[in-house]
Structure 1
């Protein structure tokens, strides 16, 4: 099979379209023929070596964690799936490898693809969708009347989080810029901040929840936007506990495990129209390096997706 692999840590130019062995799969696994794969920030962090200390990988390494495709084989212990099922998932980082024509994934991490969505749209959902769910539904326990500030509102995580927060009755403020402003506005945000011309920390006040998808200076400036006892939930950089204590607020850093049961709740929302998945730029598998360059430059709107194989084959 064909797969995008790297043979050493480094830049996107090291990504190669290789011939790779078919993945082995166990009793609780599905073997999926990949139609589309999502591109996530963790992918270029792993490729560059930025995650090597926390998630060491052996080479050659096949990149990618979330995808949509068709079940072509099942382990003997699998139930609830059949050959030919159209599915989506994000695979645990210890395995991953979705920039490939085939991938093996634990069945507990898989959900049926939304009936109303294309494979590209379904591939854009698993990781960002589950991260948004973990951050807002499980960690922050967002509810009606809460005031929520979402950074990176036009990104894959931000667009999903915005919609989940609105579904639960929150008042949502989001930051974005450029073409992302129109996108975020179309999703029903209550207050929109153009971070290129406005300083969000001078506008957003008394927030119950801040969803920090960026870290760095954005995280530092966010402490003052929270009410006393409010919660900053970070996905990119762990917030210092002492900094939260000094501001009189709470902080949490989330790392989202892949769970098919949570993903199924998100796919249900896609099918009944409660959740819109935003696909930004789309690339062929062979152009994965170009996709990484776009993502690393911070210029993506919505989710970047790679087209790997034909839907029916």
Structure 2
């Protein structure tokens, strides 16, 4: 019997966006507890290009197993096409979204016409948005949720032994979000406002109107002034940029406050303790139940997903090239006919 095929983006080698090939691939079969999803849109996230490059900067002991050819992508919005054995959480024809198998497989094969996913990774798609907007929600939304609202798992960060515990947010809390216009940042801003916090958004001036429309109480243009020199009395900094420069935000935070770098950098535990500041991070993980909560917030109008741009699946290379140029407002998404 002939193998059923689909169109997909595959890697046969690691490297620049040129290694992304649009070609035929076998349609996967759902196993026990899995659904086969007909993909309508797939979100693009930083782990996609880390995987495309072969994760050259990650220590070998922290790299998940890679097997080429590899179909990248983890964020999906689509329709349940078939169900594997012992699967009753969804029905054929249901519209669903998901962060597929992250980070256990690092890439969930979402850049394709079909993908299989554990039903525990899936949630019903928000009814008030199209598939392109819905596909922008899973990884960015779950990252913001697990950093700010509820962790939902007991897995420590691979870069830190301390367990991340989100700070309670309310009207007495001031939150500074660095990189507020990006995928994680613009959703974190809205979640913090949903909890009643006062939010300081840090981005370039091109994004000020956008961020104030999302509810930012104060805006700092990092191209004109250094946020760590002008912001004071902050209870929590969510640094979506992170990395080596993240510790500069320690001076903005009140004693008893917290700094959450999404991309962990180097910190001095003794310095943090002397300042009375908690510095923790986590690694986002697939969670269908949390994604369902986010989906309900979208339908209620409490949160919205902004799209920077969309590309057809066949143009995944161009989408990665656009991502590499940075300065993205919201999300980049691949659409699948």
Shorter chain as normaliser: what TM range? over 0.9
Equivalent positions of 1:99-114 (< 5 A) are 99-114=111-126
Range moving further from structure 2, 156-165 or 289-298: 289-298
**CA displacement, residues 168-217 of structure 1 (integer Å, 9 cap, x when unaligned):** 11110011114322211110101101111111011111211110111235
Matched with 1:132 is 144
Aligned counterpart, 1:76? 85
Selected match of 1:40 from 25, 30, 45 = 45
Once the two structures are superposed, the pairs formed by residues 18-37 of structure 1 within 5 Å of their partners are 18-37=23-42
Superposition TM-score, scaled by structure 1 size: 0.95
- 8 Å CA contact 2:39–2:77 kept in 1: the answer is yes
- Of 213-222 and 258-267, more deviation after overlay is shown by 213-222
How far is the alpha carbon of 1:248 from its aligned partner?
Answer: 3.1
- Structure 2 residue runs of 5 or longer lacking an equivalent are 1-5, 151-165
> CA-atom RMSD, angstroms?
1.5
Q: Is the 8 A contact 1:209 1:226 kept in 2?
A: yes
Question: 2: distance between equivalents of 1:234 and 1:56?
Answer: 26
CA distance in structure 2 between the partners assigned to 1:179 and 1:37 by the alignment: 26
Q: Structure 1 residue 239: deviation in Å? A: 4.8
CA contact (8 A) 1:283 1:306 kept: yes
Report what 1:150 is aligned to. Answer: 177
Mind listing any 5+ residue stretches in structure 1 that lack a counterpart? none
How far does residue 240 in structure 1 lie from its aligned partner after superposition?
2.7
1:291 matches 2:291? no
CA contact (8 A) 1:239 1:253 kept: no
Listed one character per residue, the Cα deviations across residues 133-190 of structure 1 (whole Å, up to 9, x for unaligned) are: 1011122332331110101111111111101101111110011114322211110101
Give me the TM-score of the superposition, normalised by structure 2.
Answer: 0.88
1:61 aligns to what SS in structure 2?
Answer: coil
Residue deviations 1:208-244 (CA, integer Å, cap 9, x gap): 1110111235413211111112111121124535253
Q: Distance in 1 between matches of 2:15 and 2:330?
A: 25
1:273-292 equivalent positions in 2, closer than 5 A: 273-292=301-320
Distance 2:314 2:196 in 1: 42
**Rounded Cα–Cα distance in structure 1 between residues aligned with 2:216 and 2:300:** 20
DSSP 3-state at the match of 2:133: helix
Q: How many residue pairs get matched?
A: 309
